Amino acid sequence: MGMADSGSERSDVALAAEVAQEAGEFLLSVRDRLGSHDPYTLGAAGDRHANTLILDRLRTARPDGLRITVQPGTYRAGSYQVEGDWSGASYLLAAGALGSRPVRVDGLRADSLQGDRAMLDILRAMGARAEVEGTSITVHPSALHGVDVDMGHCPDLVPTVAVLAAFAQGPTRVRNVAHLRIKESDRITAPATELARLGVRVDEHDDGLTVHGTGPDGPAWDEAARFSAHNDHRIAMSLALLGLPHGKRMDALLDDPLVVRKSFPTFWKVW
């Protein structure tokens, strides 16, 4: 991340694409505490997907915009209804497709600008039956098939989609997520490593991975298998899906199930 002072009127902040989402959200949240009364502009080194993630947080639909100008101001008290979190809901929605009964999640906007709202589209593309009724999404047990999908705008979903793909018929190719290698874990290698413990073939690529699905029955279960969360909350929660069709509680088989506290502290109780 670098900041270039273009004079007293404005500063430009250039963010490395790999960390643009997190750094951009931080700078937006502290904009009125930086001690300057001048506006500044955020840009993510020409990376459209990274900028889209920042723009989603602003509820601003600018698919071709690569820069955000932030004007100084003051916070005002008010009332705002925060929409449901598609990232946290994605594991539960995926469980509806893999489990033995439908799963309904309330409080989600189907027209949300959150990147992880793509979970609904990906599930449907893989053959899952998913219904939208108001702010409720219901996913039914379904036979899945492989897909070829660009997940640059929803990279947090990749570990979950990788597990879904293990239970699909045919290969699933995930593209445009090279930056996942520098998240809390290497989120390309981590899913590949854990799926391989049950014999699932996963090919790693520079920009993603290919999971070779084993069909609706999924990989054969190995009673001796134990799994690693890779110190990553999203890996831990995605692996919960791996044991679901086999009736296994993965919190008992993970090296660090409590890592979910970072984003979903009650995950294992809800699960």
Rounded Cα distance between 32 and 73, Å, is 6
Among the options 156, 207, 217, 251, which is catalytic? 156
Instruction: Give the rounded distance of the alpha carbon of 149 from its chain centre.
Output: 14
Give me the sheet containing 208-212, strands edge to edge: 148-150, 171-175, 208-212, 202-205
Taking a C-beta distance cutoff of 8 angstroms, is the pair 207, 251 a contact?
A: no
Other CB atoms within a 10 A radius of the CB of residue 85 amount to 16
Question: Concatenated DSSP letters for 68-112?
Answer: EEE-----------PPP-HHHHHHHHHHHHHSSS-EEEES--TT-
User: How far, in Å, CA of 239 to CA of 151, rounded?
Assistant: 19
Q: Is 59 helix (H, G, I), strand (E, B) or coil?
A: coil
Active-site residue 156, yes or no? Answer: yes
Q: Catalytic residues, which ones?
A: 156
